[in-house]
Structure 1
Amino acid sequence: MSIMVTGATGQLGSLIMENLLQLVPSSQIIACVRDLEKAKDLLEKGVEIRFGDYDQPDSLVEAFSGVANLLFISSSHPDDNVRLIQHSEVVNVALKAGVKHLLYTGFAFPPKGQIPANHVHLLTEQMILKSGIDYTFLRNALYMDFINVLGLKEAIQNGELITYPGNWLFNSVTRKDLALATAVVLTTTGHHNQIYELAAPRSWDFDELAEILSELSGTRIVHRQDSNIQHWIYSFLAKLDTASTSNDMEERLMGRPVTTLKESIVTFLQNE
């Protein structure tokens, strides 16, 4: 059966495609992209490429034709109102095209109770439920990449990791782990009408981050909170549930432990 991935050349989408190509024949995979030029390498590997743009519903009608399993990677548009319109078009076209299984990448541990008017992911999940299409909700935790904006290199140089005050806990995971878990869902059975919280099984805090930086750098790094710190990341983090944990990735999907904080930091420091 065909598997389509939207946003197949994006940061997450490209990693999912890499995993899919290791799990199923390329003839079963379809990449839905906005820029055909960026998908040349996938075409060379035998993947079918189709043009599809969330802002152009007509393009989605042709793109989704004959697709059985559709992985709908959420829009990255900065305006939530625009994102909801885009998502609505994707769901509507998927229903009309006869898509059998719609998988959606949302955000882990959304708020319970009444859905906030600005919660794009929960509202999109509701659209999918109302459509009647078999679904799988892949609720991704905070990408581990966010630690890149915390000034790790500066912390090593100055001996201090300075963060905004708060009882911060993080369930973050790497894009590579999310991509593997998603590819497993796409290529195995038993996932229809399931919800997966794709988060780490244990959380970590900034004290632990400072300890690992100390170990890796060979110098003592202390963690200090300072209310004078000004950075957009903290207001963003405060809106999310970054503390709740889940065994879905390790026990139900990946069959191996998630990449640890230490392993992730090594990669980020090497790339700086």
Structure 2
Amino acid sequence: MKKILLASTVLVGSTGFAAADVTFSGAAYTGLAYNLTTSTLQPEISALFTAGMMTTTDVGLEAGASVTVLAAGSVMQKSPGDAQFGTNDWPPTAGVVLGANVYMSGSWGRVDIAWDTNADDNSSAAPVVPGYTGVSGDPDMTVTYSNSWGNFDLEAYGVIAPVWSAATTSGDFGAKGTYNFGDYSVWVGYDYDRSDVPAQPHTVSAGATAAISGFTAAAEVAYNFGNATPFSWAASAGYETGPYSISAFFNSDTEYGAEAAYDLGGGVAVEAGFAHSNGVNSPLANVVYGGVSMAF
């Protein structure tokens, strides 16, 4: 899907505070999705709004934050790697304010801090942690450092969670290094998943991307130490010409799909697609969908 975010900017200032840029952006979608396996037709509608704030200190430090609000709606999950694939994965009866995002940036790099209100991507409410009445859920906070030196990019992250959170992600960390040359890039990464099956928390991965004359392609391979089937891989490709675009993906879990879109301009596109799950990361299902996406 091609997304074009057109942000409006307002300059805000008051006595005793530095002037700050405030940006507004949003996205919406409406259409139909059908789970061929369960014979479930789902009408789809969604809208979200993001407010971003940014300021610069006297010494050149840039700092900012953003808040995203989701209106109640209906969207079938179309990613086979998600446990909710083929079912509704959008707040259906009440709007939701997502977790805060804060960042600081300077010549030394950039630090992003993000609060995730559903770290384990549960489809139902997480349990109350014993001893902490009145609070529930599985939130966590991810701190990410990123920087670039010439053609080399580095990104490293770590995850922490409050003691009352039911999240299983606290203690996760990882890093990724990317080398860019012209229309190509190659990368290597390492991830530690503390809650993974014992003796399987360590994963190393590598991949490559290319973008040439409207064609895009990406491929990656990963090795999970201690796993009986340690190797996994994924590949995707796309092509764009004028207002038309197509894309497809396939991976070692036999998850695959394709999507076609027509860009109407102004951030509006008509799109249709198909996705399949082989039952490894989500229920066995085939999903077809079509609709109109909007970005503002």
TM-score interval, normalised by the smaller of the two chains: under 0.3
- Give 1 or 2: higher helix fraction: 1
- Give 1 or 2: higher strand fraction: 2
TM-score (structure 2 length as normaliser): 0.26
TM-score (structure 1 length as normaliser): 0.28
Higher-Rg structure is 2
